Amino acid sequence: MGKVRVSSYAVSLDGYAAGPNQSLQNPLGVRGPEIFEWFFPTRTFRAMQGQEGGSTGVDDDWARRGMENAGAWILGRNMFGPVRGPWPDDSWKGWWGEEPPYQVPTFVLTHHARAPVEMKGGTTFYFVTDGIESALKRAKEAAGEKDVRIGGGAETIRQYLRRRLIDELHLALRPILMGSGENLFAGLDLTALGYRYTEHISGEGAIHVVLKKQ
């Protein structure tokens, strides 16, 4: 049976997973790309962009492992795009162009209904309006024996953590301080929720830390 997991999720030393003032021009927030500088040089990331080359060290190993065995994804509305409120039309289809990197059924949490969007490469976006548990049920059905990966953003991950629905978290801890933005750990007591540290290793641009539900 597959796991429900968070993988390759980058956070700063002070717990921020995105910078402040996210927008169409700054999808990761101001200074947000700094949090992902461990990921951008890797061969895994470059292959996702249709490019050759890239690093093949510890960081790439964790990035590659994060993409393996994913049978479905769950994303928060902000991870899908900057559009807020009711969908004005069907023109926005994500940040990633015609061929998103997911390549499996991907469930987007939203309060506003929308028809599924089928993209190149195997990704179909399904818009779920009846909560995180419904999205997880549908994602597990789609994934079968494979894993369900919770892609973010931070508030979506917090919601799943509060209900102890995540089995494993791999965090890529970047050695920077952000000071503001979207804090992954805001309002969470991971110890009380039953999560424990199990593994860490230093990569070229991040320290990779694994937490598991006990």
Domain-embedded: residue 131: yes
Q: Give me the helices (H) in the chain, please.
A: 43-48, 58-67, 77-80, 132-143, 154-162
Domain-embedded: residue 106: yes
Domain-embedded: residue 146: yes
Domain-embedded: residue 126: yes
Domain-embedded: residue 66: yes
Domain-embedded: residue 168: no
pLDDT in the model for residue 1: 81
Output the tens digit of pLDDT for each of the chain's 214 residues. 899 999 999 999 999 999 999 888 888 999 999 999 999 999 999 998 889 999 999 999 999 999 999 999 999 999 999 888 999 999 999 988 899 999 999 999 999 999 999 999 999 999 999 999 999 999 999 999 999 999 999 999 999 999 999 999 999 999 999 999 999 999 999 999 999 999 999 999 999 999 999 9
pLDDT in the model for residue 18: 95
Which of 66, 15, 102 is closest to 203 using CA atoms?
A: 66
- Which residue type sits at 78? N
Q: What is the CATH number of the domain that holds 154?
A: 3.40.430.10
Domain-embedded: residue 45: yes
Dihedral through CA 131, CA 28, CA 119, CA 97, nearest 10?
160
Give the number of domains in the chain. Answer: 1
Domain-embedded: residue 90: no
- Owning domain of residue 59: 4-82+98-160+173-194
